[in-house]
Amino acid sequence: MNITRLDPIFKDYIWGGNKLNEEYGKNSGLSVTAESWELACHKDGMCRVADGEFKGKTLIEALAEAPEALGEKAAKFEFFPILIKLIDACKDLSVQVHPSDEYALKNEGQYGKTEMWYVVDAEDDAKLVYGLNKEVSREEFASLAKGPELMNVLNFVPVKKGDVFFIRSGVIHAIGKGLLICEIQQNSNLTYRVYDYDRVDANGNKRPLHVEKAIEVAKLAPEESYAETSVVFENKSVSVENLANCEYFVVDKIILNGKHHLFPDGSFISVTVVEGKGRIGSLDVCKGTTVFIPADAGFTEIEGNMTALSAYVK
* Segment 21-65, tens digit of pLDDT: 999 999 999 999 999 999 999 999 999 999 999 999 999 999 999
Q: Are residues 237 and 194 in the same domain?
A: no
- Tell me, yes or no, whether 161 and 282 share the same domain: no
Residue 115 is predicted with a pLDDT of 98
* Residue 303 domain-assigned (yes or no): yes
48 is catalytic: no
**Does 224 fall in a domain?**
no
List pLDDT tens digits, range 75-125. 999 999 999 999 999 999 999 999 999 999 999 999 999 999 999 999 999
Do 137 and 169 lie in a common domain?
yes
- 189 and 240 part of one domain: no
pLDDT digits (tens, 9 = 90+) for 161-184: 999 999 999 999 999 999 999 999
Tell which of 183, 217, 251 closes a domain: 217
pLDDT tens, residue by residue, 275-291: 999 999 999 999 999 99
Prediction pTM value:
0.97
- Whichever domain contains 199, its CATH number is 2.60.120.10
223 belongs to a structural domain = no
Burial (Cβ within 10 Å: 0-12, 13-18, ≥19) of residue 299: exposed
Percent residues over pLDDT 70 in the chain: 100
- pLDDT bucket at 203, cuts 50 / 70 / 90: confident
Domain assignment present for residue 24? The answer is yes
Domain C-terminal end among 217, 243, 266 = 217
Same domain, 209 and 255: no
| Residues of the domain holding 144 | 4-217
pLDDT at residue 224 is higher than 90? no
How confident is the model at residue 9, as a pLDDT?
Answer: 98
Q: Are 158 and 109 in the same domain?
A: yes
Instruction: Please tell me whether residues 245 and 207 are part of one structural domain.
Output: no
Question: Domain check: are 128 and 277 in the same one?
Answer: no
Note whether 43 and 120 are same-domain residues.
yes
Residues 247 and 164 in one domain: no
Domain tally, the chain: 2
For residue 202, name the pLDDT band (cuts at 50, 70, 90): confident
Domain-embedded: residue 154? yes
The verdict on residue 242 lying in a domain is yes
Given this model, what pLDDT does residue 43 score?
A: 95
* Annotated catalytic residue, options 48, 193, 199, 279: 193
Residue 194 belongs to a domain: yes
Statement to judge: residues 197 and 165 lie in one domain: yes
Report yes or no on 225 lying in a domain: no
Whether 156 and 90 map to the same domain: the answer is yes
Q: Of the residues 154, 182, 217, which one is the last residue of a structural domain?
A: 217
